[in-house]
Structure 1
């Protein structure tokens, strides 16, 4: 039988990393057909790596799974209002993944830049970097209703996944040492993400002190020596959370300071699932679909251990991540809130991010993004649900108890100290930090008891 090659895609983008062309991405719009071809020179590089486990450098004999390339790309795009703004600015449909990545692809999460064929990333910036002063940022925060924060100088500057307002910037040195913020253009890459306090809007849940909330939870994890991104609060005087990007590395050579991009993927990409599967109940919790659980669950997340380089360390990291979400009451810990570094040999868990105590906001649905056993509410989690979680995820229950007890003790030690930090500057922020402290201390007591009881449950009951 004669092998018939698929027709060449009419549209293409080239993917670049570390100054090398990595692959060519093809797209046929009428068939919604995507293709990926790694560059021969990239394949030969010993330190080269694939886009994701679903898109290995050596493709399977029958090709990549249908839709795998599209799912990888779609997971790079922003969601919610940021996606609306991008589509409106560039006058394309929100469902036109190819057009969106063509517009936003020079500064996505991870290592790759998406360029037009024949286009070469400049080695030196054509213009000086565009500084964003404290005063200008504050003015833009005032104008968010009229001019979206994602748009600067007529260009969308938001190209990372998520719903919340964000701005990617390069910071030349520590902010408390007079560091300045800059917008980025290739070849310069961003080093930090700015997350301002959300503005109250009609029809949206009220989330007061969200910057303090995330700063407290992230800083608590850091105090407990858990792997977490560095954060700080920058005031314009409005509070803005500054998150140091762990997929960027500042290096200095003979030609000056450069920002090296490191490749990471989130759990949706690692699982070859679309962004719409980031919640375990991917069809929602309506009466007729609540039993459909095809999205990222703890079980799906722990299945990624098989793709990692150090499986014992990865399993322990995932267990600690899950337990910490319970301690802080993060009901919204979903499949795009955990990431992995991608190496040629396999995956490696990345530092944690987006740690928020959603339980502090009564106006937000507190259904868990990932169930403990079959419990989708924090208050429904009992010893049996913890034991069921351990069984599904291949975690020894004695290890679960030891880690739960250890993290609970660390929480009891460090949460009171975190609530007293001078980062929280007024009575409202300090009161909120104290509220968080009291909540996590209560969760620590509860987790210790539940994990102890979970060990005693007989296997045949599970």
Structure 2
């Protein structure tokens, strides 16, 4: 089944399958080529519009990047006849990814809407009636069997990347509503996972990221179904003065570099493919490289090993791509079962406990960032993390052992300032990625 991709209400591309579903082709429409002129990417940095059709491998990576991962993808695939996943849990063939997006792609990351070909323009949808406490609790409890809160039978067709369980809701006048028929969601709700206090941990770290100027969206904790739930305002949604929710066009770094989600931990150092994308498509490559570098350094500082290619993103603007705000970050050093091996190495270091100013400076140099600017960025992060930790609200720190994480982060800041390796935990034997460890804990 071919699918159409809509961007800001414009039919932008059609995706078709060849070779019995083993090859996927994306072709931009004449209207899209006319509207998006000047060589700027339309859907993705990896899918140039200069040629008639895009590369099948990059097209597959882009489409798979719109889908969830892990248990959520397994559940969604199990409900569609003929859809298969491979041994790594990824769509077995391009036809499987296309079938999943045809069913679930009305509300995706960024501004794209995916629908069956010839089905016409997206209706725009509407929010549901406000959800009551019982409905909210049921949706949280049923997340393992109802990922994202999607329900195609009620025209709630949503798809969002990532392996952690989450719900997508629209906030209307302080109430939670379900986005129906492609209506934009405004918030992501992530219940505490198999990792104790993961919701509180992430809320604390994301609050520190705001203190560092790396993000500006609101985060808080709600108690739903006797579970702590992280609530994050979506940075790719803007509420207009007229009350209308607008989508921002964005993509993650794996999509931009043509890397499939299952290879997100293999994208390489920030100075590798991510920086090459910025050099080609950013209006100010050094400025955006510095923005990404600050996020890389922040993740190292707070003890977050999960900085893979899907945890960095780009926002598309008329002038070129810009670094998206930081998201999906928590102190993984709080969990001894994890290895402390970073999703992308910094300089010559792969271990969270061994990163130091030299490794960070080496990475900055490879990214083309002036040494003085990189050093100033590190000093500012240290100062802002300290002041942010001092200003944390009791609503974020009470009722769980927040002081352990705060002490870990502040200790790492002190060591980084003095030129020592970040430290903060005893390195453990490699045990795979955070995603793999999460799957083992669920069994």
Q: Judge conservation of contact 2:251–2:313 (CA < 8 Å) in 1.
A: yes
- The aligned runs of 1:81-96 (5 Å cut-off) are 81-91=71-81, 92-94=83-85, 95=91, 96=96
Partner of 1:456: none
Task: Please state how far the C-alpha of 1:212 moved relative to its aligned partner.
Answer: 0.8
Q: Determine the C-alpha separation between the residues in 2 that align with 1:222 and 1:185.
A: 31
Partner of 1:23: 13
Q: Judge conservation of contact 2:158–2:182 (CA < 8 Å) in 1.
A: no
1:176-233 C-alpha deviation (Å, 9 max, x unpaired): xxx11111123421111111112x4xxxxxx111111111011111123333432121
Partner of 1:259: 245
Q: Determine the C-alpha separation between the residues in 2 that align with 1:216 and 1:266.
A: 23
Task: Please state how far the C-alpha of 1:356 moved relative to its aligned partner.
Answer: 0.7
Q: Determine the C-alpha separation between the residues in 2 that align with 1:319 and 1:144.
A: 34
Pick closer, same or farther for the CA change 1:259–1:273 going to 2, 3 Å: same
Partner of 1:323: 297
Task: Please state how far the C-alpha of 1:408 moved relative to its aligned partner.
Answer: 0.8
- Unpaired runs of 5+ residues, structure 2, are 86-90, 422-443
Q: Judge conservation of contact 1:232–1:243 (CA < 8 Å) in 2.
A: yes
Q: Judge conservation of contact 1:229–1:352 (CA < 8 Å) in 2.
A: no
Partner of 1:164: 164
1:217-256 C-alpha deviation (Å, 9 max, x unpaired): 1111112333343212122252211111111222355xxx
Q: Determine the C-alpha separation between the residues in 1 that align with 2:151 and 2:355.
A: 49
Pick closer, same or farther for the CA change 1:361–1:214 going to 2, 3 Å: same
Task: Please state how far the C-alpha of 1:388 moved relative to its aligned partner.
Answer: 2.9
Structure having the higher Rg: 1
Task: Please state how far the C-alpha of 1:76 moved relative to its aligned partner.
Answer: 1.0
Pick closer, same or farther for the CA change 1:51–1:128 going to 2, 3 Å: closer
Task: Please state how far the C-alpha of 1:46 moved relative to its aligned partner.
Answer: 5.6
Partner of 1:106: 106
Q: Determine the C-alpha separation between the residues in 2 that align with 1:403 and 1:153.
A: 45
- Unpaired runs of 5+ residues, structure 1, are 1-10, 174-178, 201-206, 283-294, 453-462
Q: What is the DSSP-based 3-state SS (H/G/I as helix, E as strand, rest coil) of the residue aligned with 1:25?
A: strand
**Aligned alpha-carbon RMSD (Å):** 2.5
Q: Determine the C-alpha separation between the residues in 2 that align with 1:447 and 1:400.
A: 14
Task: Please state how far the C-alpha of 1:143 moved relative to its aligned partner.
Answer: 4.8
Task: Please state how far the C-alpha of 1:364 moved relative to its aligned partner.
Answer: 1.8
Task: Please state how far the C-alpha of 1:451 moved relative to its aligned partner.
Answer: 8.4
Q: Judge conservation of contact 1:14–1:115 (CA < 8 Å) in 2.
A: yes
1:90-138 C-alpha deviation (Å, 9 max, x unpaired): 232122111111111111111111112221245464x872543233222
Q: Judge conservation of contact 2:346–2:359 (CA < 8 Å) in 1.
A: yes
Range 79-88 or range 114-123, more displaced: 114-123
Task: Please state how far the C-alpha of 1:29 moved relative to its aligned partner.
Answer: 5.1
Pick closer, same or farther for the CA change 1:252–1:122 going to 2, 3 Å: farther
Partner of 2:132: 133
Quick check: 1:422 aligned with 2:395?
Answer: yes
Range 73-82 or range 371-380, more displaced: 371-380
Q: Determine the C-alpha separation between the residues in 1 that align with 2:328 and 2:188.
A: 12
Quick check: 1:303 aligned with 2:276?
Answer: yes
Partner of 1:356: 330
Quick check: 1:450 aligned with 2:419?
Answer: yes
For residue 439 of structure 1, the aligned residue among 408, 419, 437 is 408
Q: Judge conservation of contact 1:157–1:168 (CA < 8 Å) in 2.
A: no
For residue 58 of structure 1, the aligned residue among 50, 54, 79 is 50
Partner of 1:343: 317
Q: Judge conservation of contact 1:150–1:166 (CA < 8 Å) in 2.
A: yes
Partner of 1:231: 219
Task: Please state how far the C-alpha of 1:302 moved relative to its aligned partner.
Answer: 2.5
Task: Please state how far the C-alpha of 1:157 moved relative to its aligned partner.
Answer: 5.6
Q: Determine the C-alpha separation between the residues in 2 that align with 1:124 and 1:354.
A: 28
Q: Determine the C-alpha separation between the residues in 2 that align with 1:334 and 1:31.
A: 29
Q: Determine the C-alpha separation between the residues in 2 that align with 1:74 and 1:153.
A: 20
1:145-193 C-alpha deviation (Å, 9 max, x unpaired): 6x445455565765111111111111113xxxxx111111234211111
Q: Determine the C-alpha separation between the residues in 2 that align with 1:383 and 1:172.
A: 45
Q: What is the DSSP-based 3-state SS (H/G/I as helix, E as strand, rest coil) of the residue aligned with 1:67?
A: helix
Q: What is the DSSP-based 3-state SS (H/G/I as helix, E as strand, rest coil) of the residue aligned with 1:188?
A: coil
Q: Judge conservation of contact 1:268–1:296 (CA < 8 Å) in 2.
A: no
- The aligned runs of 1:168-187 (5 Å cut-off) are 168-173=168-173, 179-187=174-182
| TM-score (normalizing by structure 1) | 0.81
For residue 217 of structure 1, the aligned residue among 180, 186, 205 is 205
Quick check: 1:77 aligned with 2:76?
Answer: no
Partner of 1:412: 386
Q: Judge conservation of contact 2:148–2:168 (CA < 8 Å) in 1.
A: no
Task: Please state how far the C-alpha of 1:20 moved relative to its aligned partner.
Answer: 1.9
